[in-house]
């Protein structure tokens, strides 16, 4: 088990501190812009229903596995796997690489959101609703884009520097309830717009004629991305958890938080964008950054006197979501360095901060000074490349290796014993089948489909 001379580990103050932190990790930019456009693209209610089923089967099964593994070993990803033999540490290494890739480019997007939140206060909605010139000018700037990236990083650094109880728990205790309240308020206001109810019906009512393999694969990918699976976060957070906290109840609640916020994000964005563009297909066609940073400001600008307030609240909401995920990603990096190097938390934090600042700056240069580098083809950036490597390649590989490791090497009974320390495990047999047989197949499908889609061999 864990070395006795290792630095003292952090711990959650209680079960709900863990649940809020894990839910905060799950709730991020993926919920705010990726989920709504996928729902619009794949028949609204049909996608919602498929996603719901996947989260509460495959999603919570993998969450349970990772959280229990972390609590069992008391280590972050590398140490957790190494305890079963040095040859298995490679799984932890691959998992640990993921957050180190994601945090720098996630901070860039977080900087975009921070800028827009401030811009609604100081520049007004009209300045942002100009067809995309504001957005393009900002992200390609040699000074301002870096400045706002550093502002976002600084907020994350301060929270993580305050530790698990003094920083992460307190931040989540404020941001998660605030996020939900603001999301409900904006969704309710959006539905009062003329024509918004038609968009809501498109979003909520299943259209089974649009059910397809592409829908299932996209829902699987979204579930993976959103629940913070296969990137070491849940192993790290599980390692801070005491044996009294029920793992089964906790992971179900985390899945519920994720679905709830995703649902509210769709209810905010799809009807509003539907009003502006007239169809779900049009919303889906404007997916990615353009939906959030170009189309939605134009929608908000049509709200008259409420446009500035609604626009500010929306981007504040997205900022909270970006921060909660950014904090959990950075905390995982700090824990990995602290456990691996046997450093103090302060020393590990400084090293991680330095890495994020340098790596984030290099990736951000892909929009200005290094824009000639197009790693995935014409029009792509270094951010696109690192997003593809982390989310479409490494995460499915890590999940596949983890399922094989638990399902066939150390055996599911090991995790089952850990789960039953804090309560009964009524679905033990179903979970075992999921980890040994179902999850490896589905994860392999995700990996093959994402790579094939990137090279034009499969359409998503």
- pLDDT, one tens digit per residue, over 72-126 is 999 999 999 999 999 999 999 999 999 999 999 999 999 999 999 999 999 999 9
Look up the pTM and report it. Answer: 0.91
* First-last CA distance in the chain: 44
Tell whether the torsion through CA atoms of 202, 290, 326 and 434 is positive or negative.
positive
Residue 3: what pLDDT? 42
377: number of CA atoms within 13 Å, CB side? Answer: 4
pLDDT score, position 400:
97
What's the chain's average pLDDT?
90
Q: Which segments of the chain have a pLDDT < 70?
A: 1-10
pLDDT of residue 216: 92
273 in Cβ contact with 237 (< 8 Å)? no
The per-residue pLDDT for 5 is: 46
Distances (CA, A) of 112 to 17, 154, 263, 367, 401: 29, 14, 23, 13, 35
pLDDT of 1 reads: 42
CB 200 within 8 A of CB 270: yes
What was the pLDDT predicted at 2?
Answer: 41
Which 3 state secondary structure label does DSSP give 17? Answer: helix
Q: Using N-to-C axis directions, what is the helix angle for 439-454 and 213-226, rounded to 10°?
A: 100
Among candidates 3, 44, 36, 30, which has minimal Cα distance to 341? 3
CB atoms near residue 350 (< 10 Å): 16
The backbone torsions φ and ψ at residue 72, rounded to the nearest 5 degrees and listed phi first, read -60, -45
Residue 9's pLDDT is 62
Residue ranges in 15-59 assigned as alpha helix (H): 15-26, 29, 35-41, 45-54
């Amino acid at each position: 088990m864990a070395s006795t001379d290792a630095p003292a580990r952090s711990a959650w103050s209680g079960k709900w501190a863990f649940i809020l932190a894990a839910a905060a990790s799950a709730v991020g930019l993926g919920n705010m812009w990726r989920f709504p456009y996928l729902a619009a693209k794949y028949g609204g209610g049909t996608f919602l229903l498929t996603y719901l089923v996947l989260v509460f089967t495959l999603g919570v099964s993998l969450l349970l596995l990772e959280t229990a593994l972390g609590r069992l070993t008391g280590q972050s990803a590398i140490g957790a796997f190494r305890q079963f033999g040095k040859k298995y540490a490679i799984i932890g290494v691959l998992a640990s690489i993921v957050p180190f890739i994601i945090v720098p480019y996630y901070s860039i997007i977080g900087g975009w959101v921070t800028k827009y939140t401030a811009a609604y206060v100081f520049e007004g909605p009209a300045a942002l609703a100009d067809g995309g010139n504001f957005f393009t000018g900002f992200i390609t700037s040699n000074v301002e884009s870096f400045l706002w990236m550093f502002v976002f990083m600084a907020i994350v650094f301060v929270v993580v520097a305050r530790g698990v109880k003094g920083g992460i728990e307190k931040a989540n205790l404020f941001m998660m309830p605030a996020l939900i309240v603001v999301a409900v308020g904006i969704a309710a206001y959006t539905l009062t717009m003329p024509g918004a109810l038609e968009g809501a019906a498109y979003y909520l009512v299943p259209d089974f004629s649009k059910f397809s393999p592409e829908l299932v694969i996209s829902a699987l990918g979204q579930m993976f991305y959103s629940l913070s699976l296969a990137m070491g976060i849940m192993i790290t957070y599980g390692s801070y958890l005491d044996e009294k906290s029920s793992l089964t109840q906790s992971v179900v609640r985390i899945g519920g938080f994720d679905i709830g916020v995703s649902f509210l994000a769709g209810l905010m964005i799809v009807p509003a964008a539907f009003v502006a563009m007239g169809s779900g297909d049009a919303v889906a066609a404007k997916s990615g950054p353009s939906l959030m940073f170009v189309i939605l400001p134009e929608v908000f600008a049509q709200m008259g006197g409420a446009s500035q307030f609604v626009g500010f609240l929306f981007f504040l909401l997205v900022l909270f979501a970006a921060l909660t995920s950014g904090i959990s990603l950075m905390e995982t990096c700090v824990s990995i360095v602290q456990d691996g190097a046997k450093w103090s938390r302060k020393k590990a934090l400084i090293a991680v901060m330095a890495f994020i600042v340098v790596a984030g700056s290099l990736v951000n240069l892909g929009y200005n000074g290094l824009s000639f580098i197009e790693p995935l083809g014409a029009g792509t950036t270094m951010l696109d490349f690192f997003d593809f490597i982390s989310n479409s390649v490494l995460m499915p590989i890590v999940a596949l290796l983890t399922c094989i490791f638990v399902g066939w090497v150390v055996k599911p009974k090991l995790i089952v014993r850990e789960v039953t320390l804090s309560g009964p495990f009524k679905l033990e047999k179903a979970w075992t089948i999921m980890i040994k047989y179902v999850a490896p197949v589905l994860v392999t499908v995700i990996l093959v489909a994402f790579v094939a889609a990137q090279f034009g061999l499969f359409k998503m």
